Amino acid sequence: MTATTDGSTGAANLRAVPASDPTESTSAADDTLAVARRAAERSVEHLLGRQDEQGWWKGDLATNVTMDAEDLLLRQFLGIQDPDTVKAAARFIRGEQLGDGTWNTFYEGPPDLSATIEAYVALRLAGDRPDDPHMIRAAGWVREQGGIAEARVFTRIWLALFGWWRWEDLPELPPELMFFPKWVPLNIYDFGCWARQTIVPLTIVSALRPVRPAPFTLDELHTDPGCPNPARPTAPATSWDGVFQRLDKALHLYHRIAPRRLRRTAMNAAARWIIERQENDGCWGGIQPPAVYSVIALHLLGYDLDHPVMRAGLASLDRFTVWREDGARMVEACQSPVWDTCLATIALADAGVSPDHPALVRAADWMLGEEIVRPGDWSVRRPELAPGGWAFEFHNDNYPDIDDTAEVVLALRRVRHPDPSRVEAAIERGVRWNLGMQSRDGAWGAFDADNTSPFPNRLPFCDFGEVIDPPSADVTGHVVEMLAVEGRAQDPRTRRGIAWLLAEQEASGAWFGRWGVNYIYGTGSVVPALIAAGLPAAHPSVRRAVDWLRSVQNDDGGWGEDLRSYREEKWIGHGSSTASQTAWALLALLAAGERDTRTVERGVAWLAETQQADGSWDEPHFTGTGFPWDFSINYHLYRQVFPLTALGRYVYGDPFALAGGVGAVETGGGA
C-alpha cells in the first residue's frame, strides 16, 4: 500500500490507497483504477475549494423562469419595482427563451404553456413591446395552444391579480379550511408541507379576490379576445373529477353568502398560522413560493410593507437571488445547503479524505448547529415524537425532512469529530426521529408520516404537481441504509422498510425515483441500501436491478434519463449521459459487487473522460425532481458530489459495506 500526504489543504489526509489486485488478468482494470484515482484527487481539490468558511457547501438550484416572472409580478402588485432588478430579471428571462419563442421548464424539454405565458407577461412588465419579434413568436405559440384559458391555475391566479383573468373562473379555496380538524378529509394537514404552506395564504387571496390596475391588456394571448374566459366542460357526476367540480361550484355559491364574521375569523386564523411559521430569516419553509403568497396575503389583510413581518419576508426573497456575471438575475426556488453539505461530506470521506480533515470537521460542526430541536408541522401526526431532524435549507425549523436527516447521520458517522459525545447525541436523536416518522406501510415519505390522502390531488385547484407526500423508494432507501449503518438492520421497523422496497421494485428491475430523475435515481438509492442492510449481491431483486442498469447503459459508457420518463415509458432509463446519473448507476453496481465488470469500468472511464480540467463536471441537464414532470431542478452540486462518491467507492470500496448484516433471512416482501 502507498502512503499519502497529511497536509491540511487540497487532497490531503487521504486514506491509504490499496494496491491493484495481483490476480487481475488484464491491465485494463489497473488503468481504470489509476484513471479513477487521478479523477477523484482532482475532484477532491475542486470540492474542498468550494467550501464556505463556515463549513457548508451550496450549489445553485436552477428551476425555470416562472420563479423570475412571479417575482416581477409580485413587485408590480406591491408597487415596489426597482429598475435594476427588473432589467436584470428580464435579461435572464430573455436568455432562457427558445428559438420558437417559447420557454420550457427543463433543459432540452418541450415548450411549456404556463411558463411561456408568465415569462411573456414579465417581459411586458419590463418594457418589451408586443410587436417585438421575440414577443410575437411567444404570443403566437400561446394562441396555438389555446391561450391563457389552457394555462394552469397558478398562472391564472397571477393574471387575476391584475384583472387579466376573472376570479369567478378560478377554483375556489375557502379560508374556512382552517377550521377543519385533522381527521376531516381535506384539512390542511392532508396536503404535503410545500402545498400546505402555499394553500393557506392563497385561501386569503381567494376570499378577497384583489385586482390591481393592469398597465396593459393581454388580448394577444387569447384565442378569442371577445370571450377570454371560456367555460370548461364538466366531467360526469359519477367520476371523482365530476364530484370535485360540482363541489367547487358549491363553494363559489358559498363565496357569495359566506357569513362575514366567520370568513373574517377564518382569514385571521390563516394569518396567525402564516406568521407563526415565519422563519427567523423571514422566509417561510425555506422555499420561495410560500413566501411570495404569504407576503401577498398579509398585505391584503392590512400589513403594510414596513411591518416587521413584511420587511423580513421581502428581505428573505432577495436571498433567493443569484446575480450572474452578465448582469442577469436568477431566482432560486429554494436553497440546499444542508443537503449539499452532507452529500459533499460523504463524497470527500468516501474518496479518501481523512475523517479528521479540517474541512470535514468544519462541515460536521455546521451540520450539528443546524439540527432542529423543536416540534414542527410533522408533530400534528406524531405529537409524542421528540424532535431531532435536519431540514434542507439554511432556515426551516418547521419542516425538517426525513431524507436530509438520514443523509446527515450518514455524513456525521464518517467524521472523526473532537467532541464525539456531541455527535453521538445528535445521531441518536436523528435516528429516533426518523424511526418515529415511518408510515403505516413501513416506508418513509419526505416530510410527514402517512400523508397519503387521495383527495387533495382531486381538487380542481391542484392542477400543478404533487400536493401530497406519500412514501417513496428513494427516501426509504436512504433511511434503510442509515439504519443499517447504525446497526439497526435487524430492527423490525427496518425490516418492514426492506420488505416495502422489495415489493415496490418494478418488473424491469428498477425502482421509481420520486426526488431525482428517475428510475436511475431510485435504483441508485435502493440497491446500496439493500446491500448495506445485508441482502447478498446474489439476491434476485439485486440481480434484476443490475441487469436493468446494464441494459440502459449508453454507448458512451455513461447513463442518463430524460425527465420525460415520468410521462413516457420510452424515456425510462434513456437520455443523454450525465455525471450525476452515471454516478447513481455506478453506486448501485458497485454495491452489488460489480466493481470488476466491463460495465463499471466503462462508466468510471466516462466520468474520468468528461471531467473538466478544474476537477468538476458540466451538467446542463436537470436531474433533480421537485414534482415529477411538473417541476424539475438542476442541483449544480449534484454534478460534483455524486461522481466523486462513485469514484471514491470504486477506488477504496464502500466504507460501510455490509454494515447491518440481516443477510438473506426473513426480509419478506418478495425475498
Is the distance from CB of 347 to CB of 59 less than 8 angstroms? no
Looking at the chain, the whole-number percentage of residues with pLDDT higher than 70 is 93
High-pLDDT (> 90) share of the chain, %: 85
* Rounded-to-integer distance, Cα 251 and Cα 257, Å: 10
> How far, in Å, CA of 154 to CA of 168, rounded?
14
Instruction: Tell me the mean pLDDT in the region 237-253.
Output: 79
State the average pLDDT over residues 577-595: 98
**Across 71-148, where does the E strand assignment appear?**
none
Q: How far apart are CA 82 and CA 411, in angstroms?
A: 42
**Listed residue (377, 369, 384, 380) closest to 398, CA to CA:** 377
pLDDT at 5: 34
CB 590 within 8 A of CB 649: yes
Residue range 493-515: mean pLDDT, rounded: 98
d(CA 545, CA 534): 16
pLDDT at 18 over 50: no
User: Residue 521 pLDDT more than 60?
Assistant: yes
Q: Which of 633, 626, 607, 641 is nearest to 410 (CA)?
A: 641
**CATH 1.50.10.20 residue ranges in the chain?**
28-59+336-437+472-652, 62-224+242-331
Name, in order, each residue with C-beta under 8 angstroms of 158's C-beta and a sequence gap of 6 or more: 70, 73, 118, 121
> Given phi > 0 = left and psi -120 to 50 = alpha, else beta, which region is 174?
beta
Please tell me the distance from the alpha carbon of residue 452 to that of residue 639, in angstroms, as a whole number. 32
Across the chain, mean pLDDT equals 91
Cα separation, 171 vs 628, whole angstroms: 23
Cβ 178 vs Cβ 203: under 8 Å? yes
Q: 3-state class of 633 per DSSP?
A: strand
- Per-residue model confidence (pLDDT) at position 439: 98
Q: Degrees (nearest 5) of the Cα angle 40, 625, 588?
A: 45
* Per-residue pLDDT tens digits for 527-547: 999 999 999 999 999 999 999
Packed helices 358-369 and 420-436: angle between N→C axes, nearest 10 degrees: 50
* 657 vs 476, more confident: 476
**Residue 403 annotated in active site:** yes
**Distance between CA atoms of residues 505 and 177, nearest Å:** 37
Instruction: Identify the pLDDT of residue 152.
Output: 94
Contacts 24+ apart (CB under 8 A), 257-266: 258/174, 258/176, 258/207, 262/176, 263/175, 263/176, 263/207, 266/174, 266/175, 266/176, 266/177, 266/178, 266/179, 266/203, 266/207
- Map grid coordinates 446527515 to a residue: 408
Q: What is the pLDDT of residues 20-78, one digit of tens each?
A: 444 444 577 789 999 999 999 999 999 999 999 999 999 999 999 999 999 999 999 99
**Which residue do the cell numbers 459525545 mark?**
421
pLDDT at 26: 55
The predicted model gives 121-147 an average pLDDT of 97
pLDDT value, residue 191: 94
Q: Which three cell numbers stand for residue 643?
A: 461522481
Q: Is the pLDDT of residue 671 over 90?
A: no
Measured in whole angstroms, the distance separating CA 116 from the mean position of its chain's CA atoms is: 22
Sheet containing 624-627: order of strands: 61-62, 631-635, 624-627
Asked if residue 360 lies in contact with residue 348, where contact means CB atoms within 8 angstroms, the answer is yes
Question: Is residue 538 exposed (0-12), middle (13-18) or buried (19+ Cβ within 10 Å)?
Answer: exposed
User: In this structure, are residues 396 and 194 in contact, taking their beta carbons and an 8 Å threshold?
Assistant: no
Q: What is the pLDDT of residue 233?
A: 76
CATH code, 62-224+242-331:
1.50.10.20
Q: Residue 544's pLDDT is what?
A: 98
Nearest to 14 by CA among 38, 32, 41: 41
C-alpha span between 97 and 93 (Å, rounded): 7
CA 287 to chain CA centroid, Å, is 11
Q: What are phi and psi of 627, to 5 degrees?
A: -120, 130
pLDDT at 661: 40
Q: Tell me which of 377, 403, 469, 474 is the catalytic residue.
A: 403
- Find the helix or strand (DSSP H, E) in which 196 lies: helix 193-208
User: Cβ neighbours of residue 629 under 8 Å, at least 6 residues apart?
Assistant: 563, 564, 566, 567
Give the ranges where 126-186 is alpha helix by DSSP (H).
Answer: 133-144, 153-160
Q: Report, as an integer, the average pLDDT of 364-373.
A: 97
Cα(402)–Cα(407) distance, rounded to whole angstroms? 9
Architecture of domain 28-59+336-437+472-652: Alpha/alpha barrel (1.50)
**Cell representation of residue 80:** 415596489
pLDDT, position 21 = 43
Identify which has the larger pLDDT, 200 or 1.
Answer: 200
Going by C-alpha positions, the residue among 436, 413, 445, 438 that lies closest to residue 426 is: 413
What grid cell was written down for 394? 439554511
